[in-house]
A and B are shown apart, each in its own frame.
Chain A
Amino acid sequence: MSTPGTPEMLDPQADAGAESVAAIAARSPLQLFWRRLRRDKVALTALGVVLGVVLVAILAPLIVKLVGAPGPNAQNPDLLDDFGLPSGPSGDNLFGVDDRGRDVFARVVHGSRLSLEVAFIATAITVLIGVTLGMIAGYYRGWVDTLLARTMDLMLAFPVLVLAIGIGVACSGREGCLGGAIQPGRGVVIFVISVSTWPYMARIIRGQVLSLREREFVESARSLGASDMRIIFKEILPNLIAPIIVYATILIPQNILFEAALSFLGVGVDVNTPSWGQMIADATGIFDIAWWFMVFPGMALVTTVLAFNIVGDGLQDALNPRTSK
């Protein structure tokens, strides 16, 4: 992928210049990767933003307290007018209040928790499934590979959002679904996201493994009599770590958006958990009057996703300097 706003990276020829060539023998792929990334100022700044968001999520209650805002679920009907419409930003409520009289700032800050939690867990599950199946399919080929390809077809053809809403609704009963394995709320959202994104991960890993298994070091390991397991875990997997990190980083912002979209459509977590998507959804009816209710959660969402995307781009370029296209 391209690297917007990263001038140093725009000329791949220059990047793969003398310095890297000299270092190439001595450094592991990961070290190389890090060295290249370090020179990408925009990506580093974005990484800073990402860490900031993570910090905000972790310290959410503290931040809210420091600012002196009420808790995210504290309703204050006095801040609603006679028609039940919310009041705007003020000294006490930096971002105004929502239609329940809840502080928007507190909810935006707390909303980061849900976004990141869902995105990270769903990404982890996707990576786990995707890498496992992708490696099996890429290494052994055969029926596993065929099955994976067909599943991909199926997932592509399925209207994912409809599927997601369907599962969301189906699993929101008191008992959850699949015999209680999937509980309503977060669990459903994570499940839905993982189910609909793992094939993409699997396909990427499969492609990587396909090319790796033909490389000399794998060949030589095989000729030395190494077992399949050994080759997969000792030879191939270490070479996959960098791409996994990169694609996981690309996946995270997508999953943040996915969670927000599900919440926007009303099949996300339960109504009281602050969620950016749900806040935007709740604001749709009154955004012409209470713009703050729509604007702030949206800005939080866009900023977070953008930061992740820039980091993802930077990582990708650092991984494949020559094919940085």
Chain B
Amino acid sequence: MAFYIVKRLLWTVVLMVLISAITFLLFYVLPTADPAALRAGRSPSPETLALIREQLGLDRPLIEQFWSFLRDLFLHFDLGNSFVNNEPVRPTLLDRIPATLFLVFGAAIVWVVVGVTIGIVSAVFRGTIWDRILMGGALLAISAPVYWLGLIGLFLFSEDIGKFGLLPGSGAYQDADGVLGQAHALVMPWIVLSAAFAAVYARLLRANLLETLSEDYIRTARAKGLSERRVVLQHGLRSAGTPIVTVLGLDIGILFGGAILTETVFNIPGVGRYAFEAISRGDLATIQGTTVFLALGVALMSLLVDIIYAFLDPRVRY
């Protein structure tokens, strides 16, 4: 077990280096924006540009630049300075993290609760009109892009411009005071972001439950006279729910970066938006910093999931 965890950790480190390398290649080597020109401001002369290149180390061999990038990153967790305003990337990034975490974890709670409930109801009442409505709704939710759902939600329900002003709208998060206020502001984003995930989980759980419920030990349990409720909740859910745990860990990890769309629509100052803004401004240092950070989040979550899984299910061979 210990060996497995060490192996897994080592691989995570390798993964991080690889991701850094790809990001580095992508944004420094491919023709995006010239960092020196960005830093130089308006109308720089070629001499000024050359001096700035030297300053930023852009005239050094790529491998050397990459090495110093890695060194700063892993030894000092230094993500460099923004090419746009010269300020260090790290504090801004750290400042943006809570919003994203709040958004993602809040949405995860919503989608797990809703998804599991729908999954169970559908499985128990399989074949009925309820099952069909719920599963049809789930498929619809999967088919609608989150940003469009968000706009529709704002158009219908936001307090400022909505037809039926029920919930705080876009931009409310920044004005909210305290955790409760922020939570209130995030109600609509949570619902919108969790819709598709809840649908996926409901479908997954329903399918797993149906399979589990047809297995022998469940029949035995039923035969022993256990109530249907106990059969489903205690026995069925236990084994049908395990895959959900795995998927959940990965989804949360992926959403650290994948919440860009929701953050954009609802104007939430999160990490995804920060990355997106940096990209649209060509701010290489910030792009690099956020990408590596987001990847780190995913890698760590997947590491966590694997370790938890290894504990939960010792049969897994490594």
Contact = CB atoms under 8 A, between A and B. Distances in A.
A261 B279 contact: no
Contact of B257 (A159, A305, A313): A159
| B contact patch SS | helix
Given A4-B132, A157-B298, A260 B280 contact: no
B308 interface: no
A10 interface: yes
Contact of A5 (B136, B256, B275, B299): B136
Contacts of A281: 147
Interface stretch (B40-48, B90-98, B202-210, B223-231): B202-210
Contacts of A165: 260, 275-276, 279
A16 interface: no
A302 B144 contact: yes
Given A10-B127, A157-B19, A157-B298, A170 B26 contact: yes
Interface string B278-292: 011010000100110
Contacts of B22: 158, 163
A11 B131 CA distance: 13
A280 B264 CA distance: 13
Interface string B23-51: 10011001110000000000000000000
A166 interface: yes
Contacts, number: 171
B147 A4 contact: no
A166 B135 CA distance: 36
B207 A1 contact: yes
B261 A302 contact: no
Nearest to B146: A261
B265 A284 contact: yes
B275 A162 contact: yes
Chain B interface size, as a band, is 35 or more
B298 A159 contact: yes
B19 A265 contact: no
B147 A261 contact: yes
B142 interface: yes
Given A284-B265, A310-B139, A156 B298 contact: yes
Interface of A: 1-5, 7, 10-11, 150, 153-154, 156-163, 165-167, 169-171, 173, 175, 177-178, 253, 257, 260-261, 264-266, 277, 280-281, 283-284, 287-288, 291, 294-295, 298, 301-302, 305-306, 309-310, 313, 323, 325
Interface of B: 11, 15, 18-19, 22-23, 26-27, 30-32, 122, 126-127, 131-132, 134-136, 138-140, 142-145, 147-148, 151-152, 154-155, 161, 203, 206-208, 210-211, 250, 253-254, 256-258, 260-261, 264-265, 272, 275-276, 279-280, 282, 287, 290-291, 294-295, 298-299, 302
8 contacts: A4-B135, A154-B19, A161-B261, A162-B291, A165-B279, A169-B282, A253-B143, A283-B151
6 nearest interchain CB pairs? A159-B257, A4-B135, A325-B207, A170-B30, A306-B143, A305-B143
